[in-house]
């Protein structure tokens, strides 16, 4: 054990060393002060040649924060949804997708076809039955028909009426003019390729999914706008409070400068301390200028978010936030419940599900297109003939005796008299068509491609779930840390305020310097700014958690079906 004497000896040595250090420090300070005084007399010591700025933002009591339009968060969100240009742009997404969805059904619109023709045919006479040197046939006619693709099955049906009038010089033709008419019902049914999963039906199903996905995308965009609006609101609140802190700090530094100048004039302090006080004022003025610029930029950012195109180059509008950042409810987040809620509410996951469903449809279509084509075509209808007896044929010696030359009705309208009767000339045709490319490379590779795209969509969704988990965990962690930061910054602010008060008392009794007071005042400004930033961070984390959970629209009572569509 050490003896009391040895311990006392060592304490005495330490005390002697400490006194020596204090003595040298004091001597250095005296030497520096004397040197500074001498330098000042020589004109080498810096002394401000500029008067303290008292105009514009640096004027005492400058109205940087004007009396603007009162605005709450609820009002800011409502205005943003009405006027924000990002929302205006996103509104068109569902409308375009809905137009595409409705347009996909256009493949099943009935198609009306009408045609007419005039055909004049001349050829040299090659038969002994005709005395003329040439043959001439003139055909005039046309037709009208309607075709319809049947949804789902991929079958098509059609109804066609044709009529024509034919004039001829051929002696063996019984009728001149001859009128022909026909009515046919046709149908084509695919039994392999294009059965159900044909291009038209696949487009209808995919466009429906795309329409729903567009609505989910619009919902996600509105969520982002609400989050950005709330953040812009609290950014303005923080910028406003930072201006107030900077103004207060500047006025404090100016008051300290005036006090130091008075003390210098009566010989209590040296000119060095006046210079230090002037430097403190300049530093605070610089901080005030920067805070004022940040505040005005925050005003523009909120106006742009809330009022959109109403922000002009000469706009003088200002908002006065009415929410108190210190009014908040600290809460504990159940991360597991928050993640489960996010999986139910996030529109991005719904979009990923639509992408998977669309990929499954495309895969079904690709597999169908790999099949051979096997179509069955059916045709059922009637034909009719009428006309006037050819005079050349009536006088021809080649007409068999007893032939009824007037068995056909006359006039074009009479050519349809026997339709749908037992005397009608019905026609029926059924045929099958089979074809397949060999080795059908394109169809087979499309199946491979569609399968790979589907797998990629499923992997993207799994990755999105991981991203959402990270977002929720980070938001919950930031919310908890911000709440703790507010408490810690308040303790620091109170301690810094007490240290500044004590330092001012010491200065009044000559036991401190303006430089030390400015240091304490800087600590207080930093502590106040830290608390402002902590409050801003907490509110940003709170709205960030709502966005990560997908509950932000419910929290701010936003109803998408109440948002008016843009006028066309």
Question: What average pLDDT score do residues 428-442 get?
Answer: 93
Question: What average pLDDT score do residues 412-429 get?
Answer: 81
pLDDT of residue 14: 37
Dihedral over Cα of 419, 420, 422, 425: its sign = positive
Sheet with 175-190: strands ordered across: 111-124, 134-149, 156-168, 175-190, 373-389, 425-435
pLDDT of residue 400: 67
CA distance 448 to 456: 12
Question: What average pLDDT score do residues 407-435 get?
Answer: 83
350-353, long-range: CB within 8 Å, 24+ apart, which pairs?
350/212, 350/213, 350/216, 351/213, 351/216, 351/217, 351/220, 352/457, 352/460, 352/461, 352/464, 353/461
Question: What average pLDDT score do residues 169-192 get?
Answer: 86
pLDDT (tens digit per residue) in 16-60: 333 333 333 333 333 333 443 444 444 444 555 555 566 788 888
From residue 450, give the alpha-carbon distance in Å to each of 355, 400, 418, 463: 12, 71, 55, 20
Q: What is the 3-state secondary structure (H, E, C) of 492-550?
A: HHHHHHHHHHHHHHHHHCCCCCHHHHHHHHHHHHHHHHHHHHHHHHHHHHHHHHHHHHC
Beta bridge partners of 387: 178
* Alpha-helix runs per DSSP H in 188-270: 199-265
CA distance 409 to 385: 8
Cβ neighbours for 464, distance < 8 A, ≥ 6 positions apart: 348, 349, 352
Q: What tokens does 381 get?
A: 């209808």
CA distance 87 to 221: 7
Phi, psi of 327 (to 5 degrees): -90, 100
CATH number assigned to the domain with residue range 69-100+202-360+450-562, chosen from the 4 options 1.10.3720.10, 2.40.160.40, 1.10.10.10, 1.20.1600.10: 1.20.1600.10
The backbone region for 158, taken as left when phi is positive above 0, alpha when psi lies in -120 to 50, beta otherwise, is beta
Question: What average pLDDT score do residues 460-478 get?
Answer: 96
Share of the chain above pLDDT 90, in %: 54
Phi, psi of 557 (to 5 degrees): 55, 50
Question: What average pLDDT score do residues 202-209 get?
Answer: 95
From residue 213, give the alpha-carbon distance in Å to each of 61, 121, 406, 469, 558: 54, 60, 70, 22, 19
CA distance 295 to 532: 14
Question: What average pLDDT score do residues 264-287 get?
Answer: 87
CA distance 466 to 222: 23
563 cis-preceded (ω within 30 degrees of 0): no
**If you search the block for the tokens 């050819």, which residue do you land on?**
390
pTM equals 0.77
Residue scoring higher pLDDT (18 or 90)? 90
**b/e per residue, 215-248, with b = 16+ CB within 10 A?**
bbbbbbbbbebbbbbbbbbbbbbbbbbbbebbbb
> Cβ distance 289 to 57 under 8 Å?
yes
Q: What tokens does 335 get?
A: 């991360």
- Of the candidate ranges 119-123, 168-172, 316-320, 443-447, the one whose mean pLDDT is the lowest: 168-172
CA distance 448 to 455: 11
234: pLDDT strictly greater than 90? yes
CA distance 132 to 167: 15
Beta bridge partners of 429: 379
What one-character DSSP code corresponds to residue 280?
Answer: H
CA distance 479 to 544: 9
HSE at residue 59, side-chain half, CA atoms within 13 A, is 7
6: pLDDT strictly greater than 60? no
Q: What tokens does 205 get?
A: 């199903």
Mean pLDDT for all residues in the chain: 84
300: pLDDT strictly greater than 60? yes
What Rg, from alpha-carbon coordinates, does the chain have? Answer: 47
Local confidence band at 261 (pLDDT 50, 70, 90 cut-offs)? confident
pLDDT (tens digit per residue) in 343-370: 999 999 999 999 999 999 999 999 999 9
Burial class (CB in 10 A: 0-12, 13-18, 19+), 175: buried
pLDDT (tens digit per residue) in 500-528: 899 889 888 878 888 888 888 888 889 99
**If you search the block for the tokens 């032939």, which residue do you land on?**
403
Local confidence band at 398 (pLDDT 50, 70, 90 cut-offs)? low
């Amino acid at each position: 054990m050490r003896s009391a004497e040895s311990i006392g000896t060592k304490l005495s040595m330490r005390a002697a060393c400490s006194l020596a250090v204090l003595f040298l420090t004091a001597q250095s300070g005296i030497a520096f002060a004397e040197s500074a005084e001498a330098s000042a007399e020589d004109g080498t010591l810096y002394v401000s040649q500029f008067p303290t700025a008292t105009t514009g933002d640096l004027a005492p009591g400058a109205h940087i924060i004007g009396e603007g339009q009162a605005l709450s968060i609820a009002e800011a969100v409502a205005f943003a949804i009405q006027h924000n240009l990002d929302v205006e742009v996103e509104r068109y997404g569902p409308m375009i997708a809905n137009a595409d969805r409705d347009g996909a059904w256009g493949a099943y619109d009935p198609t009306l076809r009408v045609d007419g023709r005039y055909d004049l045919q001349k050829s040299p006479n090659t038969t002994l039955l005709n005395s003329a040197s040439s043959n001439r046939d003139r055909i005039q006619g046309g037709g009208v028909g309607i075709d319809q693709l049947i949804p789902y099955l991929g079958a098509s049906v059609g109804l066609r009426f044709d009529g024509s009038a034919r004039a001829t010089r051929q002696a063996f033709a019984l009728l001149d003019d001859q009128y022909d008419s026909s009515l046919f019902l046709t149908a084509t049914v695919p039994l392999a390729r294009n059965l159900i999963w044909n291009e038209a039906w696949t487009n209808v199903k995919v466009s429906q999914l795309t329409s729903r996905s567009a609505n989910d995308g619009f919902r996600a965009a509105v969520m982002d706008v609400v989050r950005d609006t709330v953040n812009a609101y609290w950014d303005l609140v923080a910028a406003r409070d930072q201006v107030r802190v900077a103004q207060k700090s500047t006025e404090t530094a100016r008051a300290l400068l005036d006090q130091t100048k008075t003390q210098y004039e009566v010989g209590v302090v040296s000119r060095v301390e006046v210079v230090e006080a002037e430097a403190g004022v300049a530093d605070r003025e610089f901080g005030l200028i920067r805070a004022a610029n940040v505040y005005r930029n925050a005003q523009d950012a909120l106006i742009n978010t809330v009022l959109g195109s109403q922000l002009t180059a000469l706009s003088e509008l200002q908002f006065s936030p009415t929410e108190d950042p210190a009014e908040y409810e600290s809460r504990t987040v159940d991360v597991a419940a928050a993640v489960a809620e996010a999986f139910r509410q996030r529109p991005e996951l719904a979009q990923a599900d639509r992408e998977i469903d669309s990929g499954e449809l495309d895969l079904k279509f690709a597999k169908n297109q790999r099949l051979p084509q096997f179509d069955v075509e059916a045709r059922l209808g009637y034909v009719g003939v009428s006309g006037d007896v050819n005079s050349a044929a009536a006088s021809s010696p080649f007409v068999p005796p007893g032939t009824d030359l007037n068995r056909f009705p006359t006039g074009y309208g009479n050519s349809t008299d026997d339709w749908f009767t037992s005397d009608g000339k019905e026609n029926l045709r059924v045929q099958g068509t089979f074809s397949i490319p060999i080795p059908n490379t394109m169809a087979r590779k499309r199946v491979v491609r569609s399968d790979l795209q589907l797998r990629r969509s499923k992997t993207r969704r799994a990755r999105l779930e991981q991203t959402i988990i990270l977002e929720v965990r980070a938001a919950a962690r930031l919310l908890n840390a911000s709440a703790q930061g507010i408490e810690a910054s308040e303790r620091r602010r109170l301690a810094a305020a007490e240290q500044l008060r004590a330092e001012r008392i010491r200065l009044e009794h000559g036991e401190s310097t303006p430089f030390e007071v400015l240091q304490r005042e800087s600590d207080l400004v930093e502590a106040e700014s830290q608390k402002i930033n902590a409050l801003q961070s907490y509110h940003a984390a709170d709205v960030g958690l709502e966005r990560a959970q997908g509950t932000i629209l419910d929290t701010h009572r936003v109803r998408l079906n109440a948002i008016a569509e843009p006028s066309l």
